[in-house]
Structure 1
């Protein structure tokens, strides 16, 4: 399918889904948007295995002491919005990092977002759209099971799936960057099932736009 045809299909399907959103809850809305994304983006590590999102020119910037205050408020908003979701929120200098483990995000060997992940991404989108003077690096990771090259592609495909969802919920693509690290950055022991689950994760780095 050509890029032009994909765009037309995305717009058409999006219109149908969004028209019916008025009587849906957040999880149902997320599932509807996810269906559109799945129809366009492809499955597994097929059409979605390249780095397709790169930061572009974005309006708005923060300077001086305003940066810390702005990020303090955004951090608190993430903590409130994602409370009890299983997402870990870390503050690292002026940046915020969200770590989302594999029990929330994707099925094994898949880049298709699972149902429970929609509510999490809906919360992330809500905060990002409220705090527009930040950009987002979406970073996919895998465990060490299987072929290293395949895991690299899978990690990028997962990051792209998250970016696709966020862009479909009005987060500007100029604010998004996707990266895949495959199995190269484990945070737990790959010799245990629980460790591998922790390594199959997506990390979101929220970075202030500085002027």
Structure 2
């Protein structure tokens, strides 16, 4: 009986030890991917002077200035954005343990269906340009949000211009 209690006591200690090591390993893994994302954030911040780069929990968000990307009713990226996208792609390629969600946005001018399609095309244009700069298609996902998440008021030209954009959310790929 005493031996059974002693064995049970050691089993409990062993299970507690394993639980402690597992939680430390998970914490270490979490810390390592946070460090990875922080390094990527800092490098993007340094390279993309004109873009708004922010870190939100475990992701990095990049928004290029609205006047750089698209004209009204257009899904064609302006030529002057290509050098910035090349720099952006270079950083993304160095940090290949991430996935990129590319969301296209519009102002509220036009029909809802038209804006949805336009926002999808804007996201696809951005994805295509990054892919031309060797960012793997497998890492990028697109989504058209139309006029659902405005950054500015849609009753002014400046507000509408701010809403014609593409946003990039960079997430750590837990499979890597």
TM-score normalized by structure 1? 0.68
Aligned to 2:37: 71
Secondary structure, counterpart of 2:62 in structure 1: strand
- Distance in 1, matches of 2:160 and 2:71, equals 13
Encode CA deviations 1:172-192: one digit per residue, 9 max, x unaligned. 111000000001111211111
* 1:157 counterpart residue number: 121
CA RMSD of aligned residues (A): 1.3
Q: How many residues align?
A: 148
Query: Larger Rg: 1 or 2?
Result: 2
Structure 1, unaligned runs of 5 or more: 1-61
Alignment of 1:29-178 (within 5 A): 63-83=29-49, 85=50, 87-178=51-142
d(CA) in 1 for partners of 2:54, 2:60: 6
- Distance in 2 of aligned mates of 1:63 and 1:196: 42
Task: Measure, in 2, the Cα distance between the counterparts of 1:82 and 1:128.
Answer: 12
3-state secondary structure, aligned to 2:116: helix
Greater relative CO, 1 or 2 (CA 8 Å, sep 6+)? 1
More helix by share: 2
TM-score by length of 2: 0.81
Detail structure 1 runs of 4+ shifted over 3 Å in the superposition: none
Uncovered stretches (5+) of structure 2, i.e. residues with no partner? 1-27
- Give how far 1:100 is off: 2.1
